[in-house]
A and B are shown apart, each in its own frame.
Chain A
């Protein structure tokens, strides 16, 4: 349900059903329902690969992103994912790309188009590790955003283990 900026009522104002529906019906439904977008990866998708030689890439450009209309509050971004490395042990850097509608995209780690890594995870050779990452992004402008999980392997091939585990990517609006 769309959020409408809360109005200040003044004496002598002409009360309309439009105002009441926007201010009470729709805004209360917005608060009741919460503003949350989630994508889950369970089955039927090939494990994505991150090659060290390829640098930063979306983990899965087709499914692992959400689109959300924010209202000016804080938002929490959560990524749960299992990662393993097929060769020698190395680490994986993870980041979040934000694409505001009509504006240049940026990574949350640097607030620029050059990622520096929001999270780093050591991946042993052929050992799968599941991690849940969270990041509270404060004072987010009211806007439509596409928010996407990216990664980079530092050596060899990294895999996200979609085959044997569930991966989840969630963006949820909080208060401030």
Chain B
């Protein structure tokens, strides 16, 4: 629903009409009520074979259509485990429109992206939970995906025992 600049109502000049009321009250209330926009994705089957190269988290496609320039808040939570022992796991956000990792702003991410968790023991699950704000996102449709890397190839995203979710919202 489009935003209409609020008019100044002028005594004996402004002609009250259904069109004006619908723009100033109905449309603008709908616009304000729909804020902040938010999108959530994920859960599904366990994703095995997280490797020492960055790989997309299956089902992590996030598309959000923002109005004006906004800040985006990514809320990421994944449950990960290693079947063989110690592992370090990193998470990053891939900007699919500009082909860059958001951790670095380039094609090459920071070593562990936005953050790292360490798994100490085989088959003991750990949460990776990040709350990240990305400022100054321009008006329009934006596409992102979450990518993951592990120091150990036998790392799994555990969906069976945890309803993992990735969400993005305007703030």
Do B38 and A174 have beta carbons less than 8 Å apart? yes
What separation, in Å, do the CA atoms of A15 and B18 have in the docked complex?
Answer: 10
Contact A74 B26 (CB under 8 A): no
> Does A6 interact with chain B (Cβ within 8 Å)?
yes
Residue of A nearest to B26 (CB): A6
Contact of B161 (CB < 8 Å), options: A93, A108, A131, A138: A93
A176 at the interface (CB under 8 A from B): yes
State whether the Cβ of A121 lies closer than 8 Å to any Cβ in chain B: yes
Q: Which residue of B lies closest to A71 (CB)?
A: B33
A73 close to B125 (CB less than 8 A): no
Q: Please tell me which stretch of B50-58, B140-148, B162-170 contacts chain A, meaning at least 4 of its Cβ atoms lie within 8 angstroms of it.
A: B162-170
**Chain A hits for B35, CB < 8 A:** 175
Nearest CB on A from B29, distance (A): 5
Is A136 in contact with B124, judged by CB distance below 8 angstroms? Answer: no
CB–CB A136/B167 < 8 A: yes
Contact status B16-A136, CB under 8 Å: no
Most buried by A among B21, B26, B165, B169: B21
Q: Determine whether B106 belongs to the interface, using a CB cutoff of 8 Å to chain A.
A: no
Is B75 in contact with chain A by the CB < 8 A criterion? yes
Partner of A120, one of B33, B34, B40, B162: B162
Tally of chain A residues near chain B (CB < 8 A)? 39
Main secondary structure of the interface of B (DSSP, over half): mixed
Contact A74 B38 (CB under 8 A): yes
B96 in the interface, Cβ–Cβ < 8 Å?
no
**Interface hits, A88-120 → B, CB 8 Å:** 91, 93, 108-109, 116-120
From 1 to 49 in chain B, residues with beta carbon under 8 angstroms from any chain A beta carbon are 16-18, 21-22, 25-26, 29-30, 32-40
Those of A1-60 within 8 Å (CB) of chain B: 3, 6-11, 13, 15, 23-24, 27-28, 31
Chain A residues positioned under 8 Å from B25 (CB to CB): 6, 9, 23-24
Q: Name A109's contact: one of B40, B163, B167 (CB within 8 Å).
A: B163
Other CB < 8 Å A-B pairs besides A23-B29, A132-B129, 20 of them? A7-B26, A8-B22, A9-B18, A9-B21, A9-B22, A11-B18, A27-B29, A27-B33, A28-B32, A73-B34, A74-B38, A76-B169, A91-B125, A108-B163, A136-B40, A136-B169, A174-B36, A174-B37, A175-B34, A175-B170
Top 8 closest pairs, chain A to chain B, by CB: A9-B21, A136-B40, A136-B167, A175-B34, A120-B162, A11-B18, A175-B35, A9-B18
28 contacts between A and B (CB under 8 A): A6-B25, A6-B26, A8-B22, A9-B18, A9-B26, A11-B18, A28-B29, A31-B33, A74-B38, A117-B162, A118-B162, A120-B79, A120-B127, A120-B158, A120-B162, A121-B127, A122-B125, A122-B126, A132-B129, A133-B129, A134-B167, A135-B163, A136-B75, A138-B40, A174-B36, A174-B37, A175-B35, A175-B38
